[in-house]
Structure 1
Amino acid sequence: MCKDWTPGKFPEGRTASQRLREWIDAGAGGLDAVGLDLTGADLSYGDFSESWFTDAKLVNARLVEAELYRSDAQGADFSGADLTGCSLVRVNLDDAVLRDATLDLANLVKASLCDVDASGASCRGTQFRGASLLGVNLRSADLSNAMFQENSFQVTLDQNTKIDGASGSVFGPAAIVEGDVSRELSGAALGGWIKAKGGDIRVLS
Protein backbone atom coordinates (compact mmCIF):
# COMPACT_ATOMS: atom_id res chain seq x y z
CA MET A 1 0.00 0.00 0.00
CA CYS A 2 1.21 3.47 -0.86
CA LYS A 3 1.83 5.26 2.44
CA ASP A 4 0.53 8.51 0.98
CA TRP A 5 -2.80 7.00 -0.11
CA THR A 6 -6.03 8.12 1.51
CA PRO A 7 -9.60 7.40 0.39
CA GLY A 8 -11.32 9.97 -1.77
CA LYS A 9 -14.21 9.48 0.62
CA PHE A 10 -14.41 7.46 3.83
CA PRO A 11 -17.40 5.19 4.45
CA GLU A 12 -20.27 6.90 6.24
CA GLY A 13 -20.55 4.17 8.88
CA ARG A 14 -18.37 4.69 11.94
CA THR A 15 -17.25 1.07 12.23
CA ALA A 16 -16.12 0.82 8.61
CA SER A 17 -14.49 4.23 8.69
CA GLN A 18 -12.56 3.41 11.87
CA ARG A 19 -11.42 0.05 10.51
CA LEU A 20 -10.15 1.70 7.34
CA ARG A 21 -8.28 4.41 9.29
CA GLU A 22 -6.62 1.80 11.51
CA TRP A 23 -5.55 -0.20 8.47
CA ILE A 24 -4.05 2.87 6.80
CA ASP A 25 -2.17 3.74 10.01
CA ALA A 26 -0.81 0.18 10.24
CA GLY A 27 0.60 0.53 6.73
CA ALA A 28 0.89 -3.20 6.03
CA GLY A 29 -1.15 -6.31 5.37
CA GLY A 30 -4.61 -6.76 3.92
CA LEU A 31 -7.72 -4.91 5.03
CA ASP A 32 -10.23 -6.93 7.07
CA ALA A 33 -13.53 -5.54 5.79
CA VAL A 34 -15.57 -8.71 6.34
CA GLY A 35 -19.25 -7.78 6.58
CA LEU A 36 -18.56 -4.05 6.73
CA ASP A 37 -20.79 -1.42 5.12
CA LEU A 38 -18.57 0.55 2.73
CA THR A 39 -21.48 1.97 0.75
CA GLY A 40 -20.55 5.10 -1.18
CA ALA A 41 -16.88 5.06 -0.14
CA ASP A 42 -14.25 6.17 -2.67
CA LEU A 43 -11.40 3.67 -2.44
CA SER A 44 -9.99 4.45 -5.88
CA TYR A 45 -6.27 3.78 -6.47
CA GLY A 46 -5.86 1.99 -3.13
CA ASP A 47 -3.84 -1.22 -2.81
CA PHE A 48 -6.06 -3.83 -1.17
CA SER A 49 -4.06 -6.89 -2.21
CA GLU A 50 -4.98 -10.02 -0.23
CA SER A 51 -7.75 -8.23 1.67
CA TRP A 52 -11.08 -9.59 2.91
CA PHE A 53 -14.29 -8.05 1.57
CA THR A 54 -16.35 -11.16 2.30
CA ASP A 55 -20.05 -10.23 2.59
CA ALA A 56 -19.11 -6.54 2.59
CA LYS A 57 -21.51 -3.94 1.23
CA LEU A 58 -19.90 -1.75 -1.42
CA VAL A 59 -23.02 -0.39 -3.10
CA ASN A 60 -22.15 2.62 -5.31
CA ALA A 61 -18.58 2.55 -4.00
CA ARG A 62 -15.69 3.70 -6.20
CA LEU A 63 -12.68 1.44 -6.69
CA VAL A 64 -11.27 2.97 -9.87
CA GLU A 65 -7.88 1.37 -10.64
CA ALA A 66 -7.77 -0.15 -7.16
CA GLU A 67 -5.64 -3.26 -6.58
CA LEU A 68 -7.48 -6.25 -5.11
CA TYR A 69 -5.07 -9.03 -6.12
CA ARG A 70 -5.97 -12.35 -4.46
CA SER A 71 -8.59 -10.74 -2.24
CA ASP A 72 -11.72 -12.53 -1.04
CA ALA A 73 -14.95 -10.77 -2.00
CA GLN A 74 -17.28 -13.74 -1.72
CA GLY A 75 -20.85 -12.59 -1.20
CA ALA A 76 -19.90 -8.90 -1.45
CA ASP A 77 -22.44 -6.47 -2.87
CA PHE A 78 -20.91 -4.22 -5.55
CA SER A 79 -24.24 -3.03 -6.97
CA GLY A 80 -23.70 0.18 -8.93
CA ALA A 81 -20.01 0.29 -7.93
CA ASP A 82 -17.38 1.80 -10.22
CA LEU A 83 -14.50 -0.65 -10.67
CA THR A 84 -13.13 0.88 -13.86
CA GLY A 85 -9.59 -0.40 -14.43
CA CYS A 86 -9.66 -2.30 -11.14
CA SER A 87 -7.28 -5.25 -10.73
CA LEU A 88 -9.33 -8.26 -9.64
CA VAL A 89 -6.74 -10.88 -10.58
CA ARG A 90 -7.40 -14.18 -8.78
CA VAL A 91 -10.12 -12.56 -6.66
CA ASN A 92 -12.87 -14.78 -5.24
CA LEU A 93 -16.15 -13.18 -6.32
CA ASP A 94 -18.36 -16.22 -5.77
CA ASP A 95 -21.95 -15.27 -4.82
CA ALA A 96 -21.10 -11.58 -5.26
CA VAL A 97 -23.52 -9.01 -6.66
CA LEU A 98 -22.21 -6.89 -9.52
CA ARG A 99 -25.58 -5.65 -10.71
CA ASP A 100 -25.21 -2.44 -12.76
CA ALA A 101 -21.55 -2.19 -11.73
CA THR A 102 -18.93 -0.67 -14.04
CA LEU A 103 -15.97 -2.98 -14.74
CA ASP A 104 -14.69 -1.33 -17.91
CA LEU A 105 -11.03 -2.26 -18.57
CA ALA A 106 -10.92 -4.20 -15.28
CA ASN A 107 -8.60 -7.20 -15.00
CA LEU A 108 -10.36 -10.37 -13.85
CA VAL A 109 -7.71 -12.83 -15.03
CA LYS A 110 -8.19 -16.15 -13.18
CA ALA A 111 -10.87 -14.68 -10.93
CA SER A 112 -13.63 -16.95 -9.65
CA LEU A 113 -17.20 -15.92 -10.43
CA CYS A 114 -19.70 -18.56 -9.35
CA ASP A 115 -23.40 -17.72 -8.95
CA VAL A 116 -22.77 -14.01 -9.56
CA ASP A 117 -25.46 -11.51 -10.54
CA ALA A 118 -23.78 -9.20 -13.05
CA SER A 119 -26.96 -8.18 -14.84
CA GLY A 120 -26.68 -4.73 -16.38
CA ALA A 121 -22.94 -4.57 -15.63
CA SER A 122 -20.64 -2.69 -17.99
CA CYS A 123 -17.61 -4.82 -18.87
CA ARG A 124 -16.26 -2.97 -21.90
CA GLY A 125 -12.72 -4.13 -22.65
CA THR A 126 -12.64 -6.23 -19.47
CA GLN A 127 -10.04 -9.01 -19.23
CA PHE A 128 -11.71 -12.29 -18.29
CA ARG A 129 -8.89 -14.58 -19.43
CA GLY A 130 -8.82 -17.79 -17.42
CA ALA A 131 -11.62 -16.67 -15.10
CA SER A 132 -14.32 -19.16 -14.10
CA LEU A 133 -17.80 -17.89 -14.98
CA LEU A 134 -20.25 -20.44 -13.59
CA GLY A 135 -23.87 -19.50 -13.08
CA VAL A 136 -23.21 -15.83 -13.90
CA ASN A 137 -26.18 -13.67 -14.86
CA LEU A 138 -25.05 -11.40 -17.71
CA ARG A 139 -28.47 -10.32 -18.92
CA SER A 140 -28.35 -6.75 -20.27
CA ALA A 141 -24.60 -6.63 -19.55
CA ASP A 142 -22.18 -4.90 -21.92
CA LEU A 143 -19.29 -7.21 -22.88
CA SER A 144 -18.14 -5.11 -25.83
CA ASN A 145 -14.45 -5.73 -26.61
CA ALA A 146 -14.10 -8.00 -23.57
CA MET A 147 -11.31 -10.60 -23.79
CA PHE A 148 -11.66 -14.27 -22.94
CA GLN A 149 -9.27 -17.21 -22.98
CA GLU A 150 -10.49 -20.74 -22.31
CA ASN A 151 -13.06 -19.48 -19.81
CA SER A 152 -15.77 -21.60 -18.28
CA PHE A 153 -18.77 -19.72 -19.70
CA GLN A 154 -21.86 -21.19 -18.06
CA VAL A 155 -23.66 -17.86 -18.10
CA THR A 156 -27.09 -16.43 -18.84
CA LEU A 157 -27.28 -13.99 -21.76
CA ASP A 158 -30.21 -12.27 -23.43
CA GLN A 159 -30.99 -10.14 -26.46
CA ASN A 160 -29.85 -7.05 -24.55
CA THR A 161 -26.40 -8.47 -23.77
CA LYS A 162 -23.81 -6.65 -25.90
CA ILE A 163 -20.93 -8.77 -27.21
CA ASP A 164 -19.69 -6.76 -30.19
CA GLY A 165 -15.90 -6.87 -30.45
CA ALA A 166 -15.56 -9.47 -27.70
CA SER A 167 -12.86 -12.00 -28.55
CA GLY A 168 -11.06 -15.13 -27.39
CA SER A 169 -12.30 -18.59 -26.47
CA VAL A 170 -14.76 -20.07 -23.98
CA PHE A 171 -16.32 -23.36 -22.91
CA GLY A 172 -20.11 -23.46 -22.90
CA PRO A 173 -22.91 -24.08 -22.50
CA ALA A 174 -24.65 -20.74 -22.05
CA ALA A 175 -28.33 -20.09 -21.44
CA ILE A 176 -29.90 -17.68 -23.92
CA VAL A 177 -33.08 -15.92 -22.77
CA GLU A 178 -35.33 -14.58 -25.51
CA GLY A 179 -38.58 -13.21 -24.18
CA ASP A 180 -40.08 -15.85 -21.90
CA VAL A 181 -38.07 -18.65 -23.49
CA SER A 182 -34.66 -19.88 -22.32
CA ARG A 183 -32.55 -22.26 -24.39
CA GLU A 184 -29.13 -23.75 -23.81
CA LEU A 185 -26.51 -23.36 -26.53
CA SER A 186 -23.03 -24.80 -26.81
CA GLY A 187 -20.43 -25.46 -29.50
CA ALA A 188 -21.12 -24.09 -32.98
CA ALA A 189 -24.64 -22.99 -32.02
CA LEU A 190 -23.35 -20.74 -29.23
CA GLY A 191 -20.53 -19.51 -31.44
CA GLY A 192 -23.02 -18.61 -34.16
CA TRP A 193 -25.23 -16.71 -31.72
CA ILE A 194 -22.23 -14.73 -30.47
CA LYS A 195 -21.04 -14.04 -34.02
CA ALA A 196 -24.48 -12.76 -35.01
CA LYS A 197 -24.15 -10.19 -32.22
CA GLY A 198 -20.73 -9.00 -33.42
CA GLY A 199 -18.50 -11.12 -31.19
CA ASP A 200 -15.51 -13.18 -32.28
CA ILE A 201 -15.38 -15.85 -29.59
CA ARG A 202 -14.44 -19.44 -30.34
CA VAL A 203 -16.52 -21.94 -28.38
CA LEU A 204 -14.42 -24.91 -27.34
CA SER A 205 -15.75 -28.44 -26.93
Structure 2
Amino acid sequence: MSSGTRKGWAPGQYPDDSEAAQRLREWLQSEEGGLDAVGLDLSGADLSQGDFSESWFTDSKLVNVKLIDADLYRSDAQGADFTGADLTRASLVRANFDDAVLRGATLDGADLVKASLCDVDASRTHCRGTQFMGASLLDVDLRDADLTDAMLRENSFKVLMNHSTILHGVSGSVFGPVKIFEQDSVRTLGGAALEDWIRRKGGNVHVISGN
Protein backbone atom coordinates (compact mmCIF):
# COMPACT_ATOMS: atom_id res chain seq x y z
CA MET A 1 0.00 0.00 0.00
CA SER A 2 1.28 3.49 -0.82
CA SER A 3 2.62 5.67 1.96
CA GLY A 4 0.51 8.56 0.71
CA THR A 5 -2.00 9.63 -1.87
CA ARG A 6 -2.82 12.93 -3.53
CA LYS A 7 -6.38 13.29 -4.75
CA GLY A 8 -6.60 9.51 -4.70
CA TRP A 9 -3.42 9.14 -6.77
CA ALA A 10 -0.20 7.31 -5.88
CA PRO A 11 2.83 6.43 -8.04
CA GLY A 12 2.80 3.12 -9.83
CA GLN A 13 6.46 2.88 -8.88
CA TYR A 14 8.70 5.16 -6.83
CA PRO A 15 12.03 6.43 -8.15
CA ASP A 16 15.06 4.22 -7.63
CA ASP A 17 16.88 7.09 -5.90
CA SER A 18 16.08 7.23 -2.16
CA GLU A 19 16.18 11.03 -1.88
CA ALA A 20 13.78 11.45 -4.80
CA ALA A 21 11.46 8.76 -3.42
CA GLN A 22 11.37 10.47 -0.01
CA ARG A 23 10.65 13.87 -1.57
CA LEU A 24 7.77 12.33 -3.51
CA ARG A 25 6.36 10.69 -0.36
CA GLU A 26 6.49 14.00 1.51
CA TRP A 27 4.74 15.76 -1.33
CA LEU A 28 2.00 13.15 -1.40
CA GLN A 29 1.35 13.77 2.30
CA SER A 30 1.28 17.57 1.90
CA GLU A 31 -1.82 17.53 -0.32
CA GLU A 32 -1.10 21.01 -1.74
CA GLY A 33 1.32 22.81 -4.07
CA GLY A 34 3.53 21.51 -6.83
CA LEU A 35 6.30 18.97 -6.45
CA ASP A 36 9.78 20.43 -5.91
CA ALA A 37 12.02 17.88 -7.65
CA VAL A 38 14.76 20.32 -8.70
CA GLY A 39 17.95 18.40 -9.44
CA LEU A 40 16.57 15.07 -8.25
CA ASP A 41 16.91 11.70 -9.98
CA LEU A 42 13.40 10.37 -10.63
CA SER A 43 14.60 7.74 -13.09
CA GLY A 44 12.67 4.49 -13.17
CA ALA A 45 9.51 5.93 -11.60
CA ASP A 46 5.98 5.37 -12.86
CA LEU A 47 4.20 8.69 -12.33
CA SER A 48 1.41 8.05 -14.82
CA GLN A 49 -1.84 9.97 -14.28
CA GLY A 50 -0.26 12.16 -11.61
CA ASP A 51 -1.13 15.86 -11.33
CA PHE A 52 2.16 17.75 -11.34
CA SER A 53 0.74 21.14 -12.30
CA GLU A 54 3.13 24.01 -11.54
CA SER A 55 5.83 21.62 -10.34
CA TRP A 56 9.61 22.04 -10.61
CA PHE A 57 11.65 19.45 -12.48
CA THR A 58 14.48 21.87 -13.27
CA ASP A 59 17.72 19.99 -14.00
CA SER A 60 16.09 16.74 -12.86
CA LYS A 61 16.80 13.31 -14.28
CA LEU A 62 13.69 11.50 -15.54
CA VAL A 63 15.28 8.81 -17.70
CA ASN A 64 12.71 6.17 -18.71
CA VAL A 65 10.12 7.69 -16.36
CA LYS A 66 6.49 6.91 -17.16
CA LEU A 67 4.29 10.04 -17.22
CA ILE A 68 1.41 8.61 -19.25
CA ASP A 69 -1.70 10.83 -18.95
CA ALA A 70 0.14 13.00 -16.39
CA ASP A 71 -0.52 16.73 -16.00
CA LEU A 72 2.52 19.04 -16.05
CA TYR A 73 0.60 22.28 -16.69
CA ARG A 74 2.93 25.26 -16.29
CA SER A 75 5.67 23.04 -14.85
CA ASP A 76 9.33 24.01 -15.17
CA ALA A 77 11.43 21.23 -16.68
CA GLN A 78 14.27 23.42 -17.88
CA GLY A 79 17.44 21.40 -18.33
CA ALA A 80 15.69 18.13 -17.33
CA ASP A 81 16.66 14.80 -18.90
CA PHE A 82 13.62 12.90 -20.23
CA THR A 83 15.63 10.42 -22.31
CA GLY A 84 13.38 7.45 -23.12
CA ALA A 85 10.52 8.81 -20.98
CA ASP A 86 6.90 7.98 -21.85
CA LEU A 87 4.72 11.11 -21.87
CA THR A 88 1.91 9.63 -23.95
CA ARG A 89 -1.19 11.88 -23.77
CA ALA A 90 0.46 14.04 -21.10
CA SER A 91 -0.77 17.59 -20.61
CA LEU A 92 2.29 19.79 -21.08
CA VAL A 93 0.44 23.05 -21.66
CA ARG A 94 2.65 26.10 -21.05
CA ALA A 95 5.42 23.88 -19.65
CA ASN A 96 9.03 25.03 -19.94
CA PHE A 97 11.32 22.47 -21.58
CA ASP A 98 14.14 24.86 -22.52
CA ASP A 99 17.54 23.10 -22.65
CA ALA A 100 15.86 19.77 -21.85
CA VAL A 101 16.70 16.37 -23.34
CA LEU A 102 13.78 14.45 -24.86
CA ARG A 103 15.90 12.04 -26.86
CA GLY A 104 13.96 8.89 -27.69
CA ALA A 105 10.99 9.99 -25.56
CA THR A 106 7.37 9.21 -26.46
CA LEU A 107 4.97 12.16 -26.62
CA ASP A 108 2.21 10.55 -28.69
CA GLY A 109 -1.03 12.48 -28.24
CA ALA A 110 0.59 14.89 -25.77
CA ASP A 111 -0.64 18.48 -25.48
CA LEU A 112 2.21 21.00 -25.74
CA VAL A 113 0.02 24.03 -26.48
CA LYS A 114 2.03 27.19 -25.75
CA ALA A 115 4.91 25.19 -24.30
CA SER A 116 8.47 26.48 -24.63
CA LEU A 117 11.14 24.27 -26.22
CA CYS A 118 14.40 26.07 -26.89
CA ASP A 119 17.73 24.29 -27.44
CA VAL A 120 16.09 20.88 -26.94
CA ASP A 121 17.44 17.53 -28.08
CA ALA A 122 14.26 15.81 -29.28
CA SER A 123 15.96 13.47 -31.72
CA ARG A 124 14.27 10.10 -32.22
CA THR A 125 11.19 11.24 -30.30
CA HIS A 126 7.75 9.85 -31.10
CA CYS A 127 5.30 12.76 -31.45
CA ARG A 128 2.42 11.05 -33.23
CA GLY A 129 -0.72 13.14 -32.96
CA THR A 130 1.03 15.59 -30.62
CA GLN A 131 -0.44 19.10 -30.35
CA PHE A 132 2.24 21.79 -30.64
CA MET A 133 -0.18 24.65 -31.28
CA GLY A 134 1.23 28.01 -30.25
CA ALA A 135 4.37 26.39 -28.84
CA SER A 136 7.84 27.85 -29.39
CA LEU A 137 10.29 25.40 -30.94
CA LEU A 138 13.66 27.12 -31.34
CA ASP A 139 16.82 25.14 -32.10
CA VAL A 140 15.00 21.87 -31.43
CA ASP A 141 16.68 18.78 -32.85
CA LEU A 142 13.96 16.69 -34.54
CA ARG A 143 16.27 14.47 -36.55
CA ASP A 144 14.92 10.92 -36.84
CA ALA A 145 11.75 12.01 -34.99
CA ASP A 146 8.25 10.77 -35.86
CA LEU A 147 5.72 13.63 -36.14
CA THR A 148 2.98 11.61 -37.83
CA ASP A 149 -0.35 13.53 -37.62
CA ALA A 150 1.17 16.19 -35.33
CA MET A 151 -0.76 19.47 -35.17
CA LEU A 152 0.87 22.89 -35.44
CA ARG A 153 -0.58 26.39 -35.36
CA GLU A 154 1.52 29.53 -35.74
CA ASN A 155 4.47 27.81 -34.11
CA SER A 156 7.93 29.26 -34.03
CA PHE A 157 9.50 26.29 -35.79
CA LYS A 158 13.23 26.88 -36.18
CA VAL A 159 14.13 23.23 -35.88
CA LEU A 160 16.63 20.72 -37.21
CA MET A 161 15.34 17.84 -39.31
CA ASN A 162 16.67 15.25 -41.73
CA HIS A 163 15.25 12.90 -44.34
CA SER A 164 14.48 10.37 -41.60
CA THR A 165 12.16 12.82 -39.83
CA ILE A 166 8.64 11.48 -40.40
CA LEU A 167 6.10 14.19 -41.29
CA HIS A 168 3.23 12.14 -42.71
CA GLY A 169 -0.08 13.80 -41.85
CA VAL A 170 1.49 16.74 -40.00
CA SER A 171 -0.65 19.85 -40.48
CA GLY A 172 -1.03 23.49 -39.51
CA SER A 173 1.10 26.61 -39.81
CA VAL A 174 4.62 27.56 -38.71
CA PHE A 175 7.20 30.29 -38.80
CA GLY A 176 10.44 28.93 -40.22
CA PRO A 177 13.08 28.53 -41.33
CA VAL A 178 14.09 24.88 -40.81
CA LYS A 179 17.57 23.42 -41.14
CA ILE A 180 17.69 20.18 -43.11
CA PHE A 181 20.68 17.96 -42.41
CA GLU A 182 21.77 15.87 -45.36
CA GLN A 183 24.72 13.50 -45.69
CA ASP A 184 27.51 16.05 -45.81
CA SER A 185 25.67 19.35 -45.80
CA VAL A 186 23.03 21.49 -44.15
CA ARG A 187 20.51 23.59 -46.01
CA THR A 188 18.01 26.11 -44.70
CA LEU A 189 14.45 26.02 -46.02
CA GLY A 190 11.63 28.50 -45.49
CA GLY A 191 8.53 29.74 -47.27
CA ALA A 192 7.29 27.82 -50.30
CA ALA A 193 10.43 25.65 -50.41
CA LEU A 194 9.75 24.36 -46.89
CA GLU A 195 6.07 23.83 -47.66
CA ASP A 196 7.03 21.78 -50.70
CA TRP A 197 9.58 19.71 -48.74
CA ILE A 198 7.01 18.88 -46.06
CA ARG A 199 4.37 18.12 -48.71
CA ARG A 200 6.68 15.63 -50.39
CA LYS A 201 6.99 13.90 -47.01
CA GLY A 202 3.20 13.61 -46.69
CA GLY A 203 2.45 16.69 -44.58
CA ASN A 204 0.47 19.85 -45.25
CA VAL A 205 1.90 22.88 -43.45
CA HIS A 206 1.59 26.58 -44.30
CA VAL A 207 4.80 28.50 -43.70
CA ILE A 208 4.04 32.01 -42.50
CA SER A 209 6.32 34.78 -43.75
CA GLY A 210 7.52 37.74 -41.78
CA ASN A 211 9.26 36.03 -38.83
Normalising by structure 2, we get a TM-score of 0.96
1:97 matched to 2:93: no
Distance in 2, matches of 1:180 and 1:192, equals 22
Match of 1:19, as an amino acid? R
CA shift digits 1:85-144 (9 cap, x unpaired): 000000000000000000000000000000000000000000000000000000000000
The alignment partner of 2:139 has SS state of strand
Task: Specify the alignment match of 1:125 in structure 2.
Answer: 129
Query: Moved runs in structure 1, 4+ residues, more than 4 A?
Result: none
Displacement of 1:3? 2.2
The alignment partner of 1:105 has SS state of coil
Task: Specify the alignment match of 2:206 in structure 1.
Answer: 202
1:151 matched to 2:155: yes
1:171 matched to 2:182: no
Distance in 1, matches of 2:32 and 2:167, equals 40
Normalising by structure 1, we get a TM-score of 0.99
Match of 2:89, as an amino acid? G
CA shift digits 1:34-73 (9 cap, x unpaired): 0000001000000000000000000000000000000000
Task: Specify the alignment match of 1:65 in structure 2.
Answer: 69
Distance in 2, matches of 1:110 and 1:2, equals 27
Task: Specify the alignment match of 1:116 in structure 2.
Answer: 120
Distance in 1, matches of 2:199 and 2:178, equals 14
Task: Specify the alignment match of 1:184 in structure 2.
Answer: 188
CA shift digits 1:156-196 (9 cap, x unpaired): 00000000000000000000011121100000001100000
The alignment partner of 1:164 has SS state of coil
What percentage of aligned pairs have identical amino acids?
Answer: 66
The alignment yields a C-alpha RMSD, in angstroms, of 0.8
Task: Specify the alignment match of 2:7 in structure 1.
Answer: 3
Match of 2:29, as an amino acid? D
The alignment partner of 2:21 has SS state of helix
The alignment partner of 1:153 has SS state of strand
Displacement of 1:2? 4.4
1:46 matched to 2:50: yes
The alignment partner of 1:104 has SS state of coil
Q: How many residues align?
A: 205
The answer for unaligned runs of 5 or more in structure 2 is none
Decide whether the 8 Å contact of 2:6 with 2:28 is kept in 1.
no
Match of 1:72, as an amino acid? D
Decide whether the 8 Å contact of 2:6 with 2:29 is kept in 1.
no
Distance in 2, matches of 1:126 and 1:2, equals 27
Distance in 2, matches of 1:196 and 1:40, equals 39
The alignment partner of 1:152 has SS state of strand
